[in-house]
Every structure is written in C-alpha cells, then in structure tokens.
Structure 1
Amino acid sequence: MTPLHRSFINRPPRESSSRETLARSQVLARSWPFLLDLTVAAIALAAFYGIVRIAMFWAGRSEPEVIISQSPRALPLYAFYSVVRIGLAYLLSLFFAVGYGYVAAYSKRLEPLMIAALDILQSIPVLSFLPGVMLAMVALFPTRQLGVEMGAIVLIFTGQVWNMAFSFYSSIKSIPKELREAADINRFSPLQRLVQLELPYAAIGLIWNSIMSVAGGWFFLMACEMFVLGTRDFRLPGLGSYLQTAAGTGNGPAILWGLATMIAIIVATDQLIWRPIIAWSDKFKFEQVESSQRVNSPLLHLLTHSNAIKALRLRTTTPLREKIYIALARRRRERVAQLEAAPAVKANGTSESLLTTGRGAIMVAACAGVIFAAGHALILLRQVSGAEYLQVGKGALATFLRVNLSLLLASLWTIPVGVAIGFHPKLARIAQPVVQIVASVPAPALFPVILLALIRIGGGLGIGSIALMMLGTQWYILFNVIAGAMAIPTDLKEVATLFRFSQLQRWQTVILPGIFPFLITGLVTASGGAWNASIIAEYFHLKGQTMQTTGLGAVISGATDGGQFQILLLATIVMALMVVTTNRLVWRPLFRLSETRYRLGG
C-alpha cells in the first residue's frame, strides 16, 4: 500500500470535520456577544472618565494667557479638548436644528420670519458673533474656565447649525402627501409624527449635513480656540490653537503633526460613528423596491448582535416609548372629551383671549428688544466716517464676486462626483472617508502652503482667497448632492434602466430632479459659508505678518483685531443684507420650485 493510499484511509470522515467546524462556530457565536458587551462596557467607562476629566478642567480657574505648546506630546490632550468642544457644539446644533426646522415648517405665521432670520444668521460670520458671545460667557463665569469654554462651544455652534436647520426644514416640507395622510389616519400625536415620520424621512439629509457640520466645526476651530479681541488675547488649549500657532510661526513639522492627528481623529470618527449611522439610515429611504446594494458597516452589525444592547432596548427604551405614546393618546382623548363637554363659545373665547394676551406680550417684548438694539447700533454707526463707508462698499463688491466665482467652480466638480458616490455604495465606502478627511482638514492650516506657492508663481491673496473659500464651502454642495443621490428611490433608477435611458436622459429625468431639493439646500448653505470663509480667506497672519486683500471679510477681521466695533457692526450688517437679498431673489424661488415640482409623492 502506497503512502498516498494510507493518507486516504487514515483521513477522518468529512462529517466529523464539518461537525467540529460547526461546533467551533457555535462557540464563537456564543462568546462573541460577551466580548462585545465587554467592549461596550469599556467604552462606557472611558466616556465616564473623559467626562470627569473635562469637568475638572472646566471647573478650574481661568488662565489669562495660556502658552500653546508646539510639541507633539501635547497633541493627545489638545485633541481630546477639541473633540469635546466640537461634539458638544454638534449636539447643541442637532437639537436646535430639529426644533427650529419643525416650528418653521408648521407655523404659517412664523415661517417667513424664521426663514428670514435663518438667512441672516447663516450670513453673519463667526467673528461677528465672537465679541458678544465671548464677553457674555466670560461675564457669566468670570473666574472659571467654563466661561471661555462655553464661549468657544457657542461659536463653533454658529458655524455648524444653519445647514442642518435648512436640511431638516426642507425635508419636512417635502414629505409626500400619502405619508402625511397615513399619519393622520392613524391619529399620530405630534411626538409620534416627529419620531416615526419626520425624523426618519429627514434622516439621510440630516446625517450628511451633520457630517458637513462637523467638518465645518474643524474648519472654524482655529478661529474659535485662539483669537484677539481688542487688548485681550483668548487662547484655549486645543488642536485648533495648536495648528494656528504652528501656521503663524511657520513650523512645518508641527503643522504636519497636527494635521496627522486630525486625520486620525476623522478616520476614527468615520469608522466608529458616521459609517454605522449611514448604514442604519439606509432603511429610511423612501422607495417601493428594495435596493440590491446596501451600505454595510461591520460595527453596526456587531452592535445589533450585542446582548447588552438588545436587553437595554427590550427592557428599557421600547417599554418607555410605548408608555409615552399611550399616555399621550390618553391625554389627547381626555382633551377632546373636555372640549366636547364644555361650552364651545366659552372655551373658544377663553383660549383666544389667552392666545391674544400671550402674543401681545411677546410682540411688546420683541419690539422693545429691537428698539433697544437698534438705538445702540445707530449710536455706534454714527462713529463711522465716509471713507470707512466707501471701504466697506468696495470690500462688499469684491467679496460678492469671489463668493459667486467660488460657488460656480465648486459646483462644476461636486455635482457629478456627488452623484457618482451616492449611486455606487462600493465607491462610497472608499470615497466617503476620503472626502470627509479632506473636508474636515481646516483650510487655514493648508493656506500657508497654498499662499506661498501662489506668491512664487506670481499670484497673491486675491486668487488665494478664492481657493480658500472653495476649500471651506464646496463640501456643503458635495455632501448634499451625495444625500440627494442616495435618497433617489431604487424603483426610479430601475425604470430608467428598463426603458434604456441614455446618460443625458437619466440626468434630465431622474438625477437632476431627484437631487434638486438637496442641491438647493447645499447651494444656500455654501453661499452663506463662503461669506463666512471670507473672514479668514481675505485676512491672514503668516510668519508674524498680516496679509490682506480688498474684501468685506478683511474689513471684519481687521475690525475684530483692532477692537473697532462700529466698523465690525457696519460690515456685518452689509454682509447680512447682501446674503439675504441674494437668498430672496435667487435661492428662495428655487427652493419653492423644489417644494412643488420636484417633490416625491402626489
């Protein structure tokens, strides 16, 4: 008998090997949820320690002049502080965006006023908020670090929130009629309607705008963690102040270390937070045919198989949600019964009188506040000379041209790239983290390199400011286009394939109409973001020197550095008026068109 025959004779039967494989897989299946539970517990303990550490730092005494170290050893602690600030600012932005967008979408009387206010607020640069916000927070907590920290968080909030509010508002306005009728037939309470209809329908756009908002938070982090206000020098230990210090001194290795740390944080955030959330939100796509291609997330798959999370959901969140819904339904029935039992005239008269009194009090308080603020503004504006008015006018015209040129150049590449990423999940798995990294890298950290290169080839800050505006605002368009392409129902794509549409026909009948509401939202927020970015693009500190070009952003930055609040107020008013006028004449009609003509459903 040959050795080959012996090997076949001595080989164990295939059934036993398959049983052993099945047994090993069953053991792994039992042990893996336990290991996952340990991982979840470790993450919870780490989060608790982080909360304790940040609370101890914020409760400490405020340091007047913090020396920002450029050593790589300081980066872990600096990065932790910056992540906490951006995270808290994002949570504040999320709650504000949902509440503001909800009220604006359902209140016919307040909707025009709230949308106009949103246009104005998104057009006001971060540095224009800076004096009032920072001085108010420091006055609330004069001896504690908490005051300066809260001021920085609120400033980052002002750079994150507006595109999220626009996204949620536009999503509510574009909910299909049949879904609203289904909610009415099932007698959903306002809370049920929000949780089970409006938030799920708005999830895709809100998530992609959240990614953009966090990227915007990194963009403005350098301006929020280290700035000069008159004679006072505010510095917070963080990654933004580290990069600004390194860029100001021309320390190339420190800039590279800071950017590497930021990229590592962004990659970790993408894998641990955004990718699972995007995969989870894919189930909220409005379609009649299930897509054959889904966004996958290993972390989301593991979390859904965790015994601890399952037990928490089944024993805590689900029963609590059901109790809240039952209580709301019972209260609603009782309220209807009381209204039917009480005299209609009396009830209507009492409620109308209370509403009238409340509205009157609110209007009186609002008018008093407006008159008080307008009076102080006029007192400040009286200090502005004619030459300064002329300077602000020239700067406004120059910045207006740069903003529109940057939007045009950004749209030329973001629309096709965004559609490609949104239509192909495999490409999205590769491109999404890359785009997020590039979008989150603060343009001011790269600007010294860009500016020096432009100076060598004969350019200057005039061209460089357009490049910096594009670096800071093109992502608003890209992320909204990606969200719009992902939200296009699969059945529409299959119909285009079935009828063998050409590429031009696909763009005319499916792609452009499908992404149009998202595209308008992206262009509106990108326009406001470009005006905001002008404060950094047109006025830059490099190696101890201040480089500036003619523009409204340069006027605002220079007035902030010099403590000239009258010029700061004038430039802010002019910028707000220009943005609001553009929105009213251009973006608002296009937005109404997206609500009526390019809306899913009947």
Structure 2
Amino acid sequence: MNSQLGRGVIPLLSYFLLPVYALLSLLRMIIAYLFSLIFSLSIGILAAKNEKAEHIIIPLLDVLQSVPILSFLPIAIIFFINLFGPYIGAEISSIFLIFTSQVWNMTFGVYEAVKLIPRDLEEMVRVYRIGKFLYLRKILLPATMTKLIYNSAMSWGGGWFFLYASEIISLGNAQIPLPGIGSLLALSLAESPPRIDIAILSVLITMFLVSFTYLFIWRPLMEWSENFKYEYSAGEIKRKRVFEIPRVRIPPFLYRSFFRSLRYILRLPIRNYVAGFVSFVERRAGIIKKGTFLLLILFIAYSAMKIAPHITLEMPSSEYMGEPDLILIASLNSIRRVLTVLLISLSWTIPVSLLVGRGRHWDEFMLLFEIAASFPIPVLWPFLVKYIVLPLGDEGFEIAAIMLALFGAQFYVLFNSLAGVKSISSDLEEMRKVFLIRGSLYLRKLVIPGMFPSIVTGLITAWGGAWNSLIVAEYIKVGNEVFPSKRAQYGLGTLLSIAAWDRGDISSVIFITAVLTLIVITVNRAFWRFLYDYSAKFRVE
C-alpha cells in the first residue's frame, strides 16, 4: 500500500471544509452509537437474565473494556481492510474504534439496571405468565431507560474523545486520513508550521456539536427518563414527563425551518409504527432468528476465506518473556497509577454528584460536564509535555501520565454517580421529609446506598478507561528524549508502546496484552465480582 495515501488530504485544510468534515464525523458517531445501543441492550439484558451467560459475558466485557485499543486495533484494521478494501475498511475501522469507546459503559449500565429490577415485579411476571416480548417491552426496556440514557450521554462524549484518534488509520508506513473533524485537527497540528487557526476551529466546532446534542437530545431524554423510576406512593399523582425540545433564542427563520420541522416529526404517530414493527417481529420471531443466524454464518465463512491467505502460523516469541522482573515492576507501576486515578476520581465526583444532582442548576452543570468529557485531550498533550514533563523530568512524567489517564476515566464515575442520584425514588425523599432525616444520616442511610450500584458501575468502566488512556500516556517521546528514562518507572503501556511503535514486534504486543488480560481477569474475579454482588443488596423493594 502506498505510504503517501494520506498526503492528498493535507492541502484541503480549509475553512469551507469544516462544516462538511463535522457532518461526516457526526455521521460516524451516530452509526457507532446505534451499533452500541443494539449491542448494549441485547448483551446487557442477556447477561443479567441468564446466569450461565453472565459467567461468560461479564468477565469477557471486563477484559475487552480494559485491554487497550492499541493492542487489538492493528489487528482490527488489517481484518477490515483485507475484507472490504482500503477506504471502506478504514471507515469501518474508524467506526469500530468509536464503537469500542462507547459500548462498554452502556452495556454495564443496562446490566446493572436489569439486575436491580424489584423482586415483586419478577414475581408478578411469573404469576401472570407474561410473555417474553411483553416482558421485554413493559418491564426490561423501561427498567434500563434511566441508566441507559445517562450512560449514553457519557459514551457520546467518550466517542468524541476517541474520534480524534480514529479518523487517521495507520497500516504499516501508510496512513489513511478519513475526512472528518478529527483528522482535520491532527493534520493541522502536523503541518509545518502548525495551522493553529484550523485546530482551534476544529475544537470549537466539536464543542458546538456536543452542546447541541446535549441540549436537544440528551437533556430532553434525561427529563423523559424520570418516568421510569420505581415509585410506590399513591397519594400524589405525578405529571408524566414528555420529550420536549427546549426553546432557545435563535433567529426566527432558523427556528421555523428546523426546530418546528423537528417538533412536527416528533409528533408523528411513531408509536403506531413501532408497535406494528414489534408485532411483526413477534409473529415472525422464529424466521428472523434463523435468518440472522444464517447471515452470521455466511459472514464468518466469507471473512475466513478472505483472511485465511494472509495468516501465517508462527510461535509467538517475545524478548519480554526472559525478563519477569521487568514485567512485574511494569505491572505494579501501572496498577498503582490506575488505582491513583480511581481514588482521585472518587474524591471529587461523589461530592459533585451530590451537589449537582439535588441542585437547581442541573442542566448547566450537565452541559459543562458533557463538553469536558468530550474535549480532545491530544490538543493539550504538547502543553503538558512542554510545561510539566520536560521541566520536571521523570516526576513530570508521573504527573502527566496520571492527568491523561484521569481525563479518560473520571467522567465515567461522574455520569454514573449522577444517574444514581437521579434514580433515587421520590418515595424515599418523601419519607425523609416526614421523619426529618437530614445531614450525615441522610447521606449514610439514603443517598449513598441509593448511589452505590451506579458508583460500582462507574468504577468498573473507569477502570477500563484508565487502562486505555494510561497505555498511551506511559510512553512519551520528545525528539531524542524518552520518558520514563528509568526502567523502574516503566509501566505496561511503556512496554506495549515500545513493542508496537518502536520495534513493530507483534509477539511482544500479544505477550503484554496477555499479561494485562490476566491482571484484569484476576481483579474482576477477586474484587469487581464481589462489589457487583454486594451492590445488589441496595435494589428497591
């Protein structure tokens, strides 16, 4: 493949292309989110309702969300490009990378929500022998709405975070910059001299898109999701919340041409069409299941035929296998940094969730968090290197690595904690007012127990986000200087980056990934599994 594949895109650094590139990036985000939504609902519900599947799916998801994208992205790129060609394969690879940054958080949210369905509802299903499709529509899907919508907002921001890395596909010495706001930012910074004006405009357009989607999609959906909290009080009839687009001060012609059209579309009898489609699926469930299975088999067979000629069977041999001391030190350093990130995340997200979740300025803070979660940290990386790493040396490297990993993890804890605060039923709030429960007793007996399952979900997804960010942050190369300079400071990310980028040693990449996978499985079995089981005690009954 020609190493100059991507050079034709660089002269197109133009203000006129910014809207077009922004729309292309938005389209990739939407496609990736739709696949994430389908995956999270199907796999999350299956894991929560099928005990045998749960023992396989949850450990596998823990591994997949924690194993850094650097480990499997080259393999995925080769797979898709060999299967669909360079450009279509690069597009699918980009969407796949965004998908992996969105889906795990959403899936764990669905799993947690279904596990916390009150037992009396489950008993009602058994007593009245409610059918599977009715059970899915009336019990399972409504139960997931609050967690799914809040986690979707977080995943949407996380997708923008990874978009900047996903729109430039590297394969050997070749680069395929896909047209999009992320590749435009990367190429503008790579120019000599850098096109700072294009870079700043790219970031501003991203912030606009994030703000727009929050105000007109996620905020109304969050309000609407309040309908699905479990309430048991009959003394007060609560007004049903609707999906309502907020009014904003914009030019009248824009409002007439766009927002009124959108309101009209939302008022169409969509429920009738959805009900008809669901009825059709119920009647043809057997045929659809067999057809889907057949298509999957055909795709696997076609993929095997296309990929088989490119596979060579070799015994993986890594030089790291002969250095167990280095692997142990690197593993301990990475675990120490990840735990530091989780503790810092908890230290500020829980108090902020308590203040914002019960405060009056919920919408303003949520918009701020959504923008912060999607901010492209690669833009700040040169400044971290210049003002922290280079002046402070190895101590600066520690600070910069933890800061970058913190940006990749803390918002998972924050958004899940906020969802936990909002999911506390108003019945419990009424009881608190009647019995005058307040202060520390209110926090210990009501708020923290109500938030605990969501905090556990946030920590698990933050654990994976911290590993993904840390793997990149643990290796910094500036000219001839490399950080960390001492082997005692090496982490698994350092070893993985050296193997992947400096040496092109696939065997070492596989070996380090296997070590990381072993760490993830061990922590999952020893700690996260215990926390998940313990959090089930706090379900609403």
The alignment's TM-score, normalised by the length of structure 1, stands at 0.75
User: In terms of mean alpha carbon deviation, does 395-404 or 72-81 score higher?
Assistant: 72-81
Say yes or no: does 1:299 pair with 2:233. Answer: no
Give the counterpart of 2:527 among 547, 571, 586.
586
Q: How does 1:507-586 map to 2 (within 5 A)?
A: 507-540=443-476, 548-549=483-484, 550-561=490-501, 562-586=503-527
Residue 384 of structure 1: which of 319, 325, 329 is its match?
319
Given that residues 94 and 164 in structure 1 are in contact (C-alpha distance below 8 angstroms), is that contact kept between their aligned partners in structure 2? yes
Q: Hey, what's the Cα distance between the residues in 2 that align with 1:303 and 1:589?
A: 50
| Distance (Å, rounded) in 1 between the aligned partners of 2:116 and 2:261 | 31
Contact 1:280/1:300, CA 8 A, preserved across alignment: no
How many angstroms apart in 1 are the aligned matches of 2:495 and 2:341? 20
1:443 Cα deviation after fit: 1.8
1:489: how far off?
Answer: 0.2
Which residues of 2 match residues 81-230 of structure 1 at below 5 A?
81-142=24-85, 145-230=87-172
Question: Residue 176 of structure 2 aligns to a residue in which SS?
Answer: strand
Give 1:412-561 correspondences, 5 Å limit: 412-424=347-359, 426-455=360-389, 458=392, 460-540=396-476, 548-549=483-484, 550-561=490-501
Q: Distance in 2 between matches of 1:292 and 1:420?
A: 24
Residues 254-283 of structure 1: per-residue CA shift (max 9 Å, x gap): 332221111011011111211121122111
CA distance in 2, matches of 1:188, 1:300: 38
Aligned residues: 495
Asked whether the 8 Å contact 2:104–2:461 carries over to 1, the reply is yes
C-alpha contact 2:389 2:400 (8 A) present in aligned 1: no
User: Structure 1 stretches of 5 or more lacking a match?
Assistant: 1-61, 332-357
What is the root-mean-square deviation of aligned Cα atoms in Å?
Answer: 3.2
**Could you tell me how far 1:75 is from its partner in structure 2?**
2.1
Cα 1:572–1:72 shift into 2, 3 Å: farther
Query: 1:181 is aligned with what amino acid?
Result: E
How many angstroms does 1:397 deviate by? 2.0
1:287 aligns with 2:231: yes
Give the counterpart letter for 2:76 in structure 1: V
Q: CA deviation at 1:232?
A: 2.9
- C-alpha separation between the residues in 1 aligned to 2:318 and 2:225? 53
Q: Percent same amino acid among aligned pairs?
A: 33
State the TM-score, normalized to the length of structure 2: 0.83
**2:320–2:508 CA contact under 8 A, matched in 1:** no
Q: Give the deviation of 1:453 after TM superposition.
A: 2.6
Counterpart selection for 1:241 from 183, 192, 202: 183
- Following superposition, the deviation at residue 313 of structure 1 comes to 3.2
The separation in 2 between residues aligned to 1:212 and 1:547, in whole angstroms, is 34
Contact 1:66 1:235 in 2 (8 A): no
For 2:218, the equivalent position in structure 1 comes to 274
2-structure distance, mates of 1:146, 1:328: 33
Provide the residue aligned with 1:75 in structure 2.
Answer: 18
8 Å CA contact 1:524–1:583 kept in 2: the answer is no
- 1:208–1:190 CA distance, 2 compared to 1 (3 A): same
Q: 1:147 to 1:529 in 2, by over 3 A?
A: same
Tell me, yes or no, if the aligned pair for 2:94 and 2:169 is still in contact at 8 Å: no
- Corresponding residue for residue 48 of structure 1: none
Structure ID, larger Rg: 1
Query: CA 1:384/1:227 → structure 2, altered by over 3 Å: closer, same or farther?
Result: farther
- Partners of 2:185 and 2:202 within 8 A in 1: yes
Superposed counterparts of 1:341-420, under 5 Å: 379-386=314-321, 390-420=325-355
Superposed CA offset, 1:529-559 (max 9, x none):
10011122223566x6775432212322333
Instruction: Sort the Cα spacing of 1:453 and 1:238 in 2 relative to 1 into closer, same or farther, 3 A.
Output: same
